[in-house]
Amino acid sequence: MLTIELARKLREAGLRWDPEPGDRFVLPDRGMDDEVFVVSHMVVDVHDFPDGRVLGFNGTVEWALDSIEKDSALWLPSETQLRELLGGAFVELNRDGEAYRVTLDIAGRRHVVVGDDAEEAYGKALLHLAADD
């Protein structure tokens, strides 16, 4: 998963978020940086009853936030979303020992960006593209 720091850099570089079900986000600087939320149409709880477990479909749960401005949330794009955002510049992803390397083709020139995991490598590659514009 992307770090909050890299997600912030991507937002500052102009990455825009149109929330969709399944998207992950955090609410930074509120003492909840470690809490990752997922956009969902519905909240599903598991309830344990004497007769067995039941999946409860709820509109909200007691501790839920009523609402929050989208701009207060920080999107943590997934590996797939980051790769898609690279578009036609993306050439390949390779693992080199403990590091991951994303190769980009920008105007016929190859650029390699390295990260500790695939999402970090894709995120750094997206930053490289934004800086190259």
- Parent domain of 59: 4-132
Residues 103-115: pLDDT tens digits?
999 999 999 999 9
The residue-averaged pLDDT of 11-33 equals 89
Helix (H) or strand (E) holding 100: strand 99-106
Q: How many domains does the chain have?
A: 1
What is the rounded CA–CA span in Å between residue 119 and residue 132?
A: 20
Q: Write phi, then psi, for 129 (nearest 5 degrees).
A: -60, -45
Q: How far is CA 60 from CA 7, 41, 68, in A?
A: 27, 10, 14
Confidence of residue 80 (pLDDT cuts 50, 70, 90): very high
How many residues in the chain? Answer: 133
More confident residue, 48 or 96: 96
Pairing mode, if any, of strands 52-58 and 74-75? unpaired
Q: What is the mean pLDDT of the chain?
A: 87
Report the predicted TM-score, pTM, of the whole model to 2 decimal places: 0.82
> What pLDDT, on the 0 to 100 scale, is given for residue 83?
97
| Residue 100, strand partner residues | 95, 115
CA distances 92 to 2, 38, 75, Å, are 19, 28, 24
Q: What is the pLDDT of residue 45?
A: 62
| Amino acid 48: pLDDT | 80
